[in-house]
Structure 1
Amino acid sequence: MDNATSPAAATRSGVVPAGGADLDHGLPVNWSLAKGTAARLMAAGPQTSPSVAAELVARLRTDSATAEGHVRETTGLGAGLPLLPADVLDRPAWAHAALDGMKALTAGATLPHTPKLARAVTGTTAGAQVGALLAYLGARVLGQYDPFGGPDGAGRLILVAPNIYAAQQSLGVDSEDFALWVCLHEATHRLQFTAVPWLRDYFSDQVGQLLSIREPDAAKLARLPEAIRSMRGTGGDPLALVELLQGPEQKAVLDRLLALTTLLEGHADHVMDAVGPRVVPSVDVIRERFTARRRGGGIIDRLLRTLLGVEAKMRQYAVGAAFVRHVEGEIGMAGFNRVWESPETLPLRAELDAPQDWLRRVA
């Protein structure tokens, strides 16, 4: 992809797209308020001794680099890249880092200009909402790779120590095995973005496009009755409602983003399961209990997960992993790696459920 034409890349480099005087750049979110709200609402982490906490932090830093070495052997990606430790953070620090990453990722959005006061009011509301969302997720996220995080914006692998400790205690599994198992998934995400040079800008560009497409409200309102009726057949899936309200251009970009994120999550889950039996002795117990944990929770927690799209993300793991498993079974991991050659070799959204179609088109 030509980075010079990417809205997100252009915004980060200071280049203002044509018509810039009539546009606002970046989402109208008061990011400082979001950070303050997340910190204020964040639940306290589990109690443990300083020595146990220090040992876990040291282990996670080491395991993150070790895990990526195992992932490279399995995937054939990333030869010659440095093996780096993760940043191990607590809950508030994760929320702070996540918001910085969100701000960078959405910087390429170009929206119709609104008066300064109106944008400030919108930013205040959005900041409080985003902060509250991060406070909820901050007690649940085990780790993530942020392609735009870190001091230089070049990417950052984050592991949330209190959440990993709490999950391990809740599941009743071996602490050393669980730490390495978590690192396998997150290290795969880091390798995806560091070993595939075009992926970072492609992802940013697609997000920027999606956020920048504006459709008249009248067109959305015209589709609303049909969307509400169709919701009866979707189980109340909020993503389905979003898709039903999309215009054709928005739908095309959303399809590309969903196909990419499903591939990334499924690939990470597949690799984690492929590597696990070799290096994590209790992997079968961990996987069984963790899968049950993903489906569990009280009624309020399940409702929130549905509203926030977390349940849709769980389906991404399964669909994406099945695609990777099928393709690797047909043509091996080296053949599967053709997905990383260019944006054109990524699976289409429909191909994720029909991997033979991707094989015929690409491989």
Structure 2
Amino acid sequence: MNLYRSARAVAGASGEHAIDWQAATEAAKASTDPGSISLEPGEREAYADDARDARDGVGAVAGFEFELPNTIEIQNRHHWIDANVETFERVMAPIESHTGVFPGVARTINTGTMGVLLAFLGRNVLGQYDPLLLADTPAEDHALYFVRPNILNAAEMLDVDYDRFRRWIAFHEVTHAAEFAAAPWLSTHLENRMQDGIDTLAEGSFDRGAFRDLDAAMTVVEGYAELLMDHAFDDEYEDLRRKLDARRQGRGPLQQLFRRLLGLGLKRRQYERGKAFFEHVASARGLEAAGAVWKHPDNLPTHDELDAPGVWLQRVDP
């Protein structure tokens, strides 16, 4: 890590936009130890086996076949930052021209903030299914990332077996590949909701409905993934989930603040709320009925229906 180089990158932020993305990336990487991807013998093959087994197991539970993304990478933390900064830039594009009365000062602050957030995520993300939102790409060009230093570090901190923990992460991320394969319209739906919300922010207002719809859709995505994962994973997992939740709760004040700023507490609520919805549906009608959410965008439960799955079942009648 080189905090001086990180601060210098932020101080040198330039350009015409609200964020100097090159400077933000340099600052994030300078303040983050990349970690090692010097793999043990057979470890690369183990990652590949985990992903393939997850595809087969999740497909059997979901009741349909799907393919893994063409891009599957074992990354260090700097690789993850590089892979995601372009997505962040695309998402933020509508508000990039709003630099305020003092554009130089605003650019430096915004660049520094983004550098800190990218660094925090780079040090904490374990795995990621990347549907390349706001990019016109087919599903096979999506990507699956495993941040090996973070997985290794988390397994050590949680005192759990690395191989089992890595495999559990693979199953979770591959469930997302299944969802986007089952619903080819899902990327566009999420993009449109996200774009609507960001466009109104750029205009100085807040489209509560767009963000509410986006939250509901992401709750469905995370909840269905949790349901599939619990049925498909071929080993014990309750201790993994319990320890990982305890680790999140036990973070220091600064880390808790970053989690709130990044909406990671909201993400945990989406997991729990979505899983409760799908467990009710699966208990009442079976796993196949739960998969009916992907048949059409109109089948997505509304924000209110997520807390009243019986109402959704009556409306959709899967």
TM range (shorter): 0.7 to 0.9
Indicate whether 1:287 and 2:241 are aligned: yes
How has the CA–CA distance of structure 1 residues 41 and 337 changed in structure 2, closer, same or farther, with 3 Å as cutoff?
same
How has the CA–CA distance of structure 1 residues 152 and 88 changed in structure 2, closer, same or farther, with 3 Å as cutoff?
farther
Q: Deviations over 1:32-91 (max 9, x none)?
A: 22211211111453x79x453x644442233122212211111124x2535757211100
Q: Which amino acid aligns with 1:133?
A: L
Q: Distance in 2 between matches of 1:284 and 1:99?
A: 33
How has the CA–CA distance of structure 1 residues 89 and 117 changed in structure 2, closer, same or farther, with 3 Å as cutoff?
farther
User: Could you tell me which residue of structure 1 aligns to residue 67 of structure 2?
Assistant: 81
Mapping of 1:29-178 within 5 angstroms?
Answer: 29-45=19-35, 50-52=38-40, 55-77=42-64, 79=65, 81=67, 86-106=72-92, 109=94, 122-148=106-132, 153=137, 154-178=141-165
Following superposition, the deviation at residue 359 of structure 1 comes to: 1.2
Q: Which amino acid aligns with 2:309?
A: P
Q: Distance in 1 between matches of 2:208 and 2:164?
A: 41
Following superposition, the deviation at residue 126 of structure 1 comes to: 2.6
Q: Distance in 1 between matches of 2:68 and 2:144?
A: 13
How has the CA–CA distance of structure 1 residues 283 and 212 changed in structure 2, closer, same or farther, with 3 Å as cutoff?
same
Helix, strand or coil: the match of 1:177? helix
Q: Which amino acid aligns with 1:327?
A: V
Q: Which amino acid aligns with 2:83?
A: A
How has the CA–CA distance of structure 1 residues 85 and 284 changed in structure 2, closer, same or farther, with 3 Å as cutoff?
farther
Q: Distance in 1 between matches of 2:170 and 2:96?
A: 41
* Aligned match for 2:266, one of 312, 315, 320: 312
Following superposition, the deviation at residue 155 of structure 1 comes to: 1.3
User: Could you tell me which residue of structure 2 aligns to residue 14 of structure 1?
Assistant: none
Query: Contact 1:193–1:199 at 8 Å: present in 2 too?
Result: yes
How has the CA–CA distance of structure 1 residues 93 and 210 changed in structure 2, closer, same or farther, with 3 Å as cutoff?
same
Q: Distance in 1 between matches of 2:307 and 2:237?
A: 27
Helix, strand or coil: the match of 1:139? helix
Q: Distance in 1 between matches of 2:100 and 2:245?
A: 47
Mapping of 1:297-308 within 5 angstroms?
Answer: 297-308=251-262
User: Could you tell me which residue of structure 2 aligns to residue 321 of structure 1?
Assistant: 275
Following superposition, the deviation at residue 119 of structure 1 comes to: 6.7
4+ residue runs over 4 A deviation = 82-85, 111-124, 214-217
Query: Contact 2:19–2:110 at 8 Å: present in 1 too?
Result: yes
User: Could you tell me which residue of structure 2 aligns to residue 182 of structure 1?
Assistant: 169
Following superposition, the deviation at residue 103 of structure 1 comes to: 2.8
Following superposition, the deviation at residue 158 of structure 1 comes to: 0.8
- Of stretches 341-350 and 81-90 in structure 1, the one that deviates more from structure 2 is 81-90
Following superposition, the deviation at residue 122 of structure 1 comes to: 4.7
Query: Contact 2:66–2:181 at 8 Å: present in 1 too?
Result: no
How has the CA–CA distance of structure 1 residues 41 and 57 changed in structure 2, closer, same or farther, with 3 Å as cutoff?
farther
Query: Contact 1:34–1:131 at 8 Å: present in 2 too?
Result: yes
Q: Deviations over 1:135-182 (max 9, x none)?
A: 011111101111118x99531111100001111111121222111111
Mapping of 1:17-28 within 5 angstroms?
Answer: 28=18
* Aligned match for 2:211, one of 248, 251, 254: 254
How has the CA–CA distance of structure 1 residues 185 and 60 changed in structure 2, closer, same or farther, with 3 Å as cutoff?
same
Following superposition, the deviation at residue 106 of structure 1 comes to: 4.8
Q: Which amino acid aligns with 1:143?
A: G
> Which ranges of structure 2 fall in alignment gaps of 5 or more residues?
1-16
User: Could you tell me which residue of structure 1 aligns to residue 10 of structure 2?
Assistant: none
Query: Contact 2:77–2:147 at 8 Å: present in 1 too?
Result: yes
Query: Contact 1:88–1:161 at 8 Å: present in 2 too?
Result: yes
Query: Contact 1:65–1:83 at 8 Å: present in 2 too?
Result: no
Q: Distance in 2 between matches of 1:43 and 1:131?
A: 14
User: Could you tell me which residue of structure 1 aligns to residue 192 of structure 2?
Assistant: 205
Q: Distance in 2 between matches of 1:99 and 1:69?
A: 31
Helix, strand or coil: the match of 1:254? helix
Helix, strand or coil: the match of 2:123? coil
Q: Distance in 2 between matches of 1:148 and 1:333?
A: 28
Q: Distance in 2 between matches of 1:357 and 1:137?
A: 37
- Of stretches 55-64 and 315-324 in structure 1, the one that deviates more from structure 2 is 55-64
Following superposition, the deviation at residue 101 of structure 1 comes to: 2.3
Helix, strand or coil: the match of 1:158? strand
How has the CA–CA distance of structure 1 residues 51 and 60 changed in structure 2, closer, same or farther, with 3 Å as cutoff?
closer
* Aligned residue-pair number: 297
Query: Contact 2:18–2:99 at 8 Å: present in 1 too?
Result: no
Indicate whether 1:354 and 2:295 are aligned: no
How has the CA–CA distance of structure 1 residues 82 and 319 changed in structure 2, closer, same or farther, with 3 Å as cutoff?
closer
Indicate whether 1:273 and 2:230 are aligned: yes
